[in-house]
Structure 1
Amino acid sequence: MYYSLYYLFFISLYYVKSLEVLHNETVRVRISTGEIEGYIDRNGKSHVHVFKGVPFAEPPVGNLRFSLPKEKSPWHFTWDAKQYRAACMANTTVATKLQKVISEDCLYMNIFADSRCTPNDSCPVIYYIHGGGFFWGSAVQFEDEFVIDRYASDRMVFLIPAYRLGMFGFWDFGDDTIVPRNLGLHDMIMSLKWVQKEILAFGGDPGRVTLMGNSAGASTIQFLSVSPAVPRDYYSNIVISSGSPTTFNGFNHSATNFIVKQSGCRENVSNPNNFSQIVDCLRQVDAFKLLDMAQLAESEDDVFFDGIVSDGPLFHNKTFTQLLSEWKQVPLFIGATKYEMYDHYKNITILCRKYGSIFDYSANRTIQACVDKYDNLMEKYKVRQMLIDSTHAEVYREAALNTRKGQPSYVWEFTMQGHNMHAGDISFMIGTHRPIVLTEEERVTNQAMYKAMTILK
Structure 2
Amino acid sequence: MICFIFILVGIVEGNRVRVSTGVLEGKVERVGPHKINVFKNVPFAEPPLKDLRFQSPLPKKRWRGIWDATEYSPACMSNSSRTTSPQSNVDEDCLYLNIWADERCMNRACPVLFYIHGGGFYYDSAIMFNETEIINKFAVNEIIFVIPAYRLGIFGFLDLGMELPLTPYNVGLYDILLSLRWIQKEISNFGGDKRRITLVGNSAGASTIAYLMSSPVVEPGAFAQAVIDSSVPLLRPHQTQQMCDTISGYVRCKSKSIEEEVQCLKEISAEELLLASRDTEDDFGEVGPQTDRFLIPKENFFQMASTYWQPKPLLIITTTDEMSSDADDDIEGLCQAYCHAFNYHTREAYDKCVEKYSVDVYHTKKDFIHAMHTQISLFNTRAGGTSYRGVFALDGSTHHANDLTFLIGLHPKEKMNSDQTLMNSLYPEIFRRFIRGEKPANGWIPTDLDGKNYFYLTFNNITKATPTPVIGKIYNQKAVDFWLSYLRLINKQNLPQEESSIENLNQFYDSKAQLSHVDKISIFWTTLALVIIIATGVLICTSLRLFLRYHYFADYRIAMGGEGRKLLIRNVRNS
The reply to whether TM is greater than 0.5 is yes
Distance change (3 Å), C-alpha of 1:95 and 1:409: closer
Q: Distance in 1 between matches of 2:84 and 2:329?
A: 27
2:230 paired residue number: 242
2:290 paired residue number: 309
Q: Which moved more, 1:49-58 or 1:278-287?
A: 278-287
1:6 paired residue number: none
* 2:308 is equivalent to residue 326 of structure 1: yes
* 2:70 is equivalent to residue 82 of structure 1: yes
Residues 98 and 140, structure 1, Cα contact 8 Å, conserved in 2: no
Residues 111 and 159, structure 1, Cα contact 8 Å, conserved in 2: yes
1:158 paired residue number: 145
Alignment of 1:306-455 (within 5 A): 306-324=287-305, 325-342=307-324, 346-376=329-359, 382-455=360-433
**SS of residue paired to 1:398:** helix
Q: Distance in 2 between matches of 1:208 and 1:89?
A: 31
Alignment of 1:45-444 (within 5 A): 46-93=34-81, 99-118=87-106, 121-178=108-165, 179-266=167-254, 272-299=255-282, 302-304=283-285, 306-324=287-305, 325-342=307-324, 346-376=329-359, 382-444=360-422
Q: Distance in 1 between matches of 2:278 and 2:295?
A: 27
Q: Distance in 1 between matches of 2:286 and 2:293?
A: 16
| 1:262 Cα offset (Å) | 1.8
Q: Which moved more, 1:78-87 or 1:88-97?
A: 88-97
CA RMSD of aligned residues (A): 2.0
TM-score, reference length from structure 2: 0.71
Q: Which has the higher contact order (CA 8 A, sep 6+)?
A: 1
Distance change (3 Å), C-alpha of 1:217 and 1:45: farther
**SS of residue paired to 2:104:** coil
Q: Deviations over 1:64-102 (max 9, x none)?
A: 111100110100110001100100001254667892100
Q: Distance in 2 between matches of 1:131 and 1:102?
A: 17
Q: Distance in 2 between matches of 1:429 and 1:285?
A: 39
**SS of residue paired to 1:283:** helix
**SS of residue paired to 2:398:** coil
Q: Distance in 2 between matches of 1:93 and 1:36?
A: 36
Q: Distance in 1 between matches of 2:57 and 2:220?
A: 21
* Higher alpha-carbon Rg: 2
**SS of residue paired to 1:142:** coil
Letter of the 1:141 partner, please give it: M
Distance change (3 Å), C-alpha of 1:244 and 1:305: closer
Q: Distance in 2 between matches of 1:123 and 1:333?
A: 20
* 2:22 is equivalent to residue 28 of structure 1: no
**SS of residue paired to 2:416:** coil
Residues 244 and 391, structure 1, Cα contact 8 Å, conserved in 2: yes
Residues 44 and 148, structure 1, Cα contact 8 Å, conserved in 2: no
| 1:384 Cα offset (Å) | 2.8
Q: Distance in 1 between matches of 2:285 and 2:375?
A: 29
**SS of residue paired to 2:323:** coil
Distance change (3 Å), C-alpha of 1:373 and 1:97: closer
Q: Distance in 2 between matches of 1:58 and 1:311?
A: 23
Residues 245 and 320, structure 1, Cα contact 8 Å, conserved in 2: yes
| 1:24 Cα offset (Å) | 5.4
Residues 427 and 433, structure 1, Cα contact 8 Å, conserved in 2: yes
Residues 235 and 341, structure 2, Cα contact 8 Å, conserved in 1: yes
Q: Distance in 1 between matches of 2:32 and 2:260?
A: 53
Residues 331 and 407, structure 1, Cα contact 8 Å, conserved in 2: yes
Q: Distance in 1 between matches of 2:171 and 2:111?
A: 28
Residues 80 and 278, structure 2, Cα contact 8 Å, conserved in 1: no
| 1:296 Cα offset (Å) | 2.5
TM-score, reference length from structure 1: 0.89
Q: Distance in 1 between matches of 2:431 and 2:345?
A: 35
Q: Distance in 1 between matches of 2:32 and 2:135?
A: 6
Aligned length, in residue pairs: 426
Q: Distance in 2 between matches of 1:285 and 1:24?
A: 44
Query: Following superposition, which runs of at least 4 residues in structure 1 exceed 4 angstroms of deviation?
Result: 92-98
| 1:180 Cα offset (Å) | 1.0
Q: Give structure 2 stretches of 5+ with no counterpart.
A: 1-6, 436-575
Letter of the 1:68 partner, please give it: S
Q: Which moved more, 1:196-205 or 1:310-319?
A: 310-319
Letter of the 1:292 partner, please give it: L
**SS of residue paired to 2:138:** helix
